[in-house]
């Protein structure tokens, strides 16, 4: 199963994705996280060491242009560039969870990001998974990724929303664009929820009930500031993460 997560900036999507990864791993799944945020920090969240050695694929401009080069005598780009070796070469692993960092989408000579998008979309759509494998896509904040089509082929989109009007507006816009893009399934996930009023606000504003609610956690904030891997805190946040994982596995 390929699961993407999105939402307004600052709603905690990377934190939730790390907690889901830990929960999936604990349930015996092979987990690959693809950090597709232009400002990636999933590596820090997972506690991966030697972060500076990670080479985002999207930074390798010449390779991307070569792989998605124009067909000779045609104005069109190749739609099926070879990416098998990339899927292995740029993976790193920490505590049984694999990570691939796509990084910021760049262009070779300015203009559109056609070469990069071609390769990135191909990588995502090429991943054929067994029932024991899960790919988690940590997307950039907002709605730009939907316009670029870089989450083509995902099975389920999780939209993280916090109890604020601006977050709800962004979440509803993401839902509309996701539906228009043909993403088969999507669900809201509440975060930074303090009380019943927050729950009611989200339910009424979204017009439906999120599949889970994560509490506003002082422990999470302190761990992030201290550079402690959030996967070590999965036990303290396991109820909501387990609820989401069980919900998603019911669809597998």
Give the start-to-end residue ranges of the domains of the chain.
2-47+97-104+129-249
Query: Mean per-residue pLDDT for 52-63?
Result: 67
pLDDT digits (tens, 9 = 90+) for 115-130: 555 666 666 666 656 7
- The contacts of residue 76 (CB under 8 Å, 6+ apart) are 70
**Helix (H), strand (E) counts: the chain:** 10, 8
Cα–Cα distance measured from residue 143 to residue 31, given in angstroms and rounded to the nearest whole number: 25
Q: pTM for this structure?
A: 0.81
Only one residue has tokens 């990339």, namely 86
CATH class of the structural domain 2-47+97-104+129-249: alpha beta
pLDDT digits (tens, 9 = 90+) for 140-182: 776 555 655 566 678 899 999 999 999 999 999 999 988 888 8
């Amino acid at each position: 199963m390929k699961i993407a997560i999105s939402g307004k900036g600052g709603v905690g999507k990377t934190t939730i994705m790390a907690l889901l990864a830990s929960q999936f791993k604990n349930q015996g799944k092979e987990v690959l996280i693809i950090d597709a945020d232009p400002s990636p920090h999933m590596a820090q969240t997972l506690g991966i060491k030697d972060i500076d050695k990670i080479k985002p694929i999207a930074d390798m401009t010449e390779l991307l242009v070569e792989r998605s080069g124009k067909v000779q005598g045609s104005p069109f780009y190749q739609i099926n560039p070879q990416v098998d070796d990339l899927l292995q070469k740029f993976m790193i692993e920490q505590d049984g969870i694999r990570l691939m960092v796509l990084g910021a989408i760049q262009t070779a000579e300015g203009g559109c990001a056609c070469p990069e998008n071609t390769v990135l979309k191909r990588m995502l759509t090429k991943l054929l998974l067994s029932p024991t494998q899960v790919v988690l896509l940590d997307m950039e904040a907002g709605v730009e990724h939907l316009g670029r089509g870089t989450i083509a082929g995902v099975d389920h989109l999780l939209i993280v929303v916090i109890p604020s009007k601006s977050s709800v507006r962004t979440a509803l816009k993401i839902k509309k664009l996701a539906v228009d893009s043909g993403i088969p399934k999507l669900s809201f996930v509440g975060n930074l929820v303090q009380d019943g009023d927050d729950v009611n606000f989200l339910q009424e504003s979204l017009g439906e009930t999120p599949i889970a609610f994560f509490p506003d956690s002082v422990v999470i904030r302190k761990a992030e500031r201290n550079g402690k891997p959030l996967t070590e805190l999965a036990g303290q946040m396991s109820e909501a993460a387990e609820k989401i994982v069980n919900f998603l596995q019911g669809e597998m």
